[in-house]
Structure 1
Amino acid sequence: MPEEPDAERRETVVLSVVIPMYNEEEVLPALVSRLRPVLDGLGAAHEVVAVDDGSTDRTAELLAAFRLGWPELRVVALRRNSGHQAALTAGLDRAVGSFVVSLDADLQDPPEKIPEMLALARGEGLDIVYGVRVDRSSDTGFKRWTAGVYYRLMRRLAGPSVTAQAGDFRLLSRAAVDALKALPDQQRVYRLLVPWLGFPSGQVTYERAPRVAGRTKYPLGRMIRLAVDSVTGFSAAPLRIATWLGAGAFVVCLGLLVYTLTAFALGRTVPGWTSLFTGIVFIGAVQLICVGLLGEYVGRIYTAVQNRPTYFVRHDTAAPGAPGAGDAGEGAGSEARVPAPRA
């Protein structure tokens, strides 16, 4: 588990900004030019925790260059690409601020909203402030449609506490962050985990901007994976769907049986391949769907039993002796985030 920061540092840092990034060399200059003035204008101690999720471009090189003139920038480099939610977990595990903001590097979520989030949390005593997208016209029609379906489905399965159109741009209090760190979940979906905590929350609204540069890191395949993790991680409804599909198949089988007996009684016993083919295909499809749903849940159980670390850290520039923070060599400060043991 990550080492606890010393009490003095934890008390002095008011705000931590966690930014997971993977191959974001094209957008980094724009991100720094917009984020740094915002944080400097807060007039409070802060840190920026940039989590390099195993980038293969010049992201690590650019981060090292920006650190030379920006002491508040802290780089946590993962040994391999572990995924957006795992990189976000790494940042939350290491952030020391009294409040922690998670922000994507693509600038579709405006960093200029951070002071408003902090003011709202402090003024109303909130532990969570969501950034809610009220205008997604910059997204494609397909993405807006799929996002709408996703949030409607999640609110139905996980409950109305899930804020519609709220992604991973949010502010968390230290109490909320510590509660998240204590959870044993390995395949985390924070847009569902955070509302599940039940802490007092508020929201700020904004218009979602186009990506400043580079390509999206959430293509269709990853969006589908996120949806599957969301559904199977927070609801047993798919298993109930399998049950209903089985019941429906049983009804169809009864209908085919009645049809067969009627045809036999009327002497119409000429074999008909259409009804036979349709019945076999339908029942086979239902069985495969049910097996697939069961397999998804069994796979999650298998992953939980393995209890493998969610990520491995190659180095953290805030760790004593880490590359960029001392005279140690490559790999100093390396550690893994191991989920808490289950009873």
Structure 2
Amino acid sequence: MVASEPALSVVVPIYNEQSVLPLLVARLRGVLDALGEPYEVVAVDDGSTDNTPAALLAARREWPQLRVIRLRRNSGHQPALLAGLMRARGDYVVSIDADLQDPPETIAAMLRLAQDQNLDIVYGVRADRSTDTAFKRWTASVYYRLMRRIVGNHVPAHAGDFRLLSRAAVEALRELPERTPVLRLVVPWLGFPSGEVTFEREKRAAGHTKYPLSRMVALAADSITSFSAAPLRVATWLGLAGVAVCGLLVAVTIVAYLLGATVSGWPSLYLAILFLGAVQLLCLGLLGEYVARIYTAVQARPAYYIADDTRATAPAPAQVSMVDSLE
């Protein structure tokens, strides 16, 4: 019999992971059964097109603590994660990806640290990224350095979406009015007492990555524009630099005219036009990015629609008006 109010919820967003599901179920169930705490596993099927939905329902017949939430369409990793967080019932909620690169065995250490030190947030921090390519390690390093510079040093380095949240932290996330939360930045911003548990990042157990370079770039852009107005200030400084360069060119032109050295030269004119055009287009692009976010917020469309939930009486809302721009 599954406890009516679990002490721990584990949220797993899943999209086309039929090859890794048997490994995930066997490994995660062994870890959670050994904890000795009532728990639930909230598997959020993000509109999978392979055999993932059927495999989840088959696993649930043998694992009563497994709860399956199916979204009507593929909404993206972040909406699927939010769907699970908003509907999880545990006193503590852990989010973890299905690919087993974040080891489920770390959950026990995260829960123990939270309980022993009365923490609301425990981050799973990657101590070793040797399984990633050199390019991915470099881009990740650049991303976290940039985020810490923009947002502050309270953003833990190399901490992704593998984290533990207390019920209080989850409820604080519910109350946020913004439409495009980037959890790896918003969660540290909440200011709850937090700790870290390091782990060795493993290779993907099966299947292929659902987070290619294009989505990594989109994550960086979304992180910056949703949490800082710094790009708009960059546009301002570029505009000032353009004005300064134009002023210098005007001074040079006047001096050349007075010295009688005015000769037609298309290179200088060509470069000046290119520079000013590039600055203007960049500034318009940055401004457009923020206007697009305002437009999206005004639309207030839900990030996802839930098709069904194996716990039909779940009290959480069926929709969350948070729009994901990463996927």
**In which range does the TM-score fall when normalised by the shorter chain?**
over 0.9
Give 1:195's match in structure 2, choosing from 188, 192, 209: 188
User: How far apart are 1:240 and its partner, in Å?
Assistant: 0.5
Determine which of 74, 78, 94 is the counterpart of 2:87.
Answer: 94
Which AA in structure 2 matches 1:86?
P
Give the equivalent residue in structure 2 for 1:259.
Answer: 252
Q: One-letter code of the match for 1:337? A: V
**How far apart are 1:337 and its partner, in Å?**
2.1
Distance 1:320 1:43 in 2: 25
**Whole-Å separation in 2 of the counterparts to 1:181 and 1:334:** 10
Q: Report the secondary structure of 2:271's partner residue.
A: helix
Is contact 1:92–1:177 with CA below 8 Å preserved after alignment? yes
Higher alpha-carbon deviation: 21-30 or 263-272: 263-272
Aligned partners of 1:231, 1:26: CA distance in 2, in Å? 34
Matched, 1:83 2:76: yes
Aligned counterparts of 1:337 and 1:46: Cα–Cα separation in 2: 24
1:20 aligns with 2:13: yes
Pairing of 1:64-213 with structure 2 (within 5 A): 64-213=57-206
Cα distance in 2 for partners of 1:184, 1:65 equals 38
Residues 224 and 10 of structure 1: CA distance in aligned 2, closer, same or farther (over 3 Å): farther
Deviations 1:142-172 (A, max 9, x none): 1000000100010011111100000000000
Q: In the aligned structure 1, how far is the partner of 2:18 from the partner of 2:174?
A: 29
Say which of 284, 291, 297 aligns to 2:277: 284
Does the 8 Å CA contact 1:10/1:98 hold for their aligned counterparts? no
Structure 2 contact 42–66 (Cα < 8 Å) conserved: yes
Partner of 1:337: 320
* 1:93 maps to amino acid: M
The Cα shift of 1:57 comes to: 1.0
So what's the TM-score if we normalise by structure 1?
Answer: 0.91
What are the Cα deviations for residues 91-124 of structure 1, in whole angstroms up to 9, with x where unaligned? 0011000000000001110000001110100000
**Rounded Cα–Cα distance in structure 2 between residues aligned with 1:15 and 1:51:** 16
State the identity as a percent.
Answer: 64
SS in 1 for 2:35: coil
Work out whether residues 309 and 337 of structure 1, in 8 Å CA contact, stay in contact via their aligned partners in 2: yes
**Partners in 1 of 2:313 and 2:185 — Cα distance?**
35
Q: Deviations over 1:245-280 (max 9, x none)?
A: 001111110111122112222222221110000000
Question: Counterpart in 2 of 1:231?
Answer: 224
How large is the RMSD of aligned CA atoms in angstroms?
Answer: 1.6
1:209-256 alpha-carbon deviations (Å, 9 max, x no partner) = 111111111111111111111101111111100010001111110111
Alpha-carbon separation, structure 2, partners of 1:254 and 1:11: 72
Contact residue 182 and residue 222 of structure 2 kept, 8 A: yes
Is the 8 Å Cα contact of residues 5 and 89 (structure 2) preserved in structure 1? Answer: no
State the distance in 2 between where 1:294 and 1:338 align. 24
Q: List aligned pairs for 1:12-51, cutoff 5 A.
A: 12-51=5-44
Tell me, which stretches of 5 or more residues in structure 1 are unaligned?
1-8, 322-332
Say which SS state the counterpart of residue 336 (structure 1) adopts: coil
**Residue type at the aligned position of 1:17:** V
Match of 1:217 among 210, 220, 229: 210
Q: Is the 8 A contact 2:3 2:38 kept in 1?
A: no
- Contact kept, 8 Å, 1:86 with 1:188, in 2: the verdict is no
Identify which of structures 1 and 2 has the higher relative contact order when contacts are C-alpha pairs closer than 8 Å and 6+ apart.
2
Query: C-alpha separation between the residues in 2 aligned to 1:166 and 1:217?
Result: 18
- How many residues are matched? 320
Which amino acid in structure 1 is aligned with residue 87 of structure 2?
Answer: R
Q: Distance in 1 between matches of 2:313 and 2:247?
A: 71
Could you tell me whether the CA contact under 8 Å between 1:10 and 1:96 is conserved in 2? Answer: no
Residue of structure 2 equivalent to 1:273: 266
Q: Which residue, out of 293, 298, 304, partners 1:300? A: 293
* Cα separation, 1, equivalents of 2:32 and 2:145: 34
Aligned mates of 1:37, 1:66 — CA distance in 2: 14
| Equivalent position of 2:239 in the other structure | 246
Distance 1:261 1:10 in 2: 83
Letter in 1 for 2:319: A
Whether contact under 8 Å (1:315, 1:334) holds in the other structure is no
Report the AA paired with residue 279 of structure 2. V
Deviation at 1:140, TM superposition (A): 0.4
Equivalent pair of 2:87/2:317 in contact (CA under 8 Å): no
| Aligned 8 A contact 1:312 1:334 in 2 | no
Decide which moves more: 9-18 or 202-211.
9-18
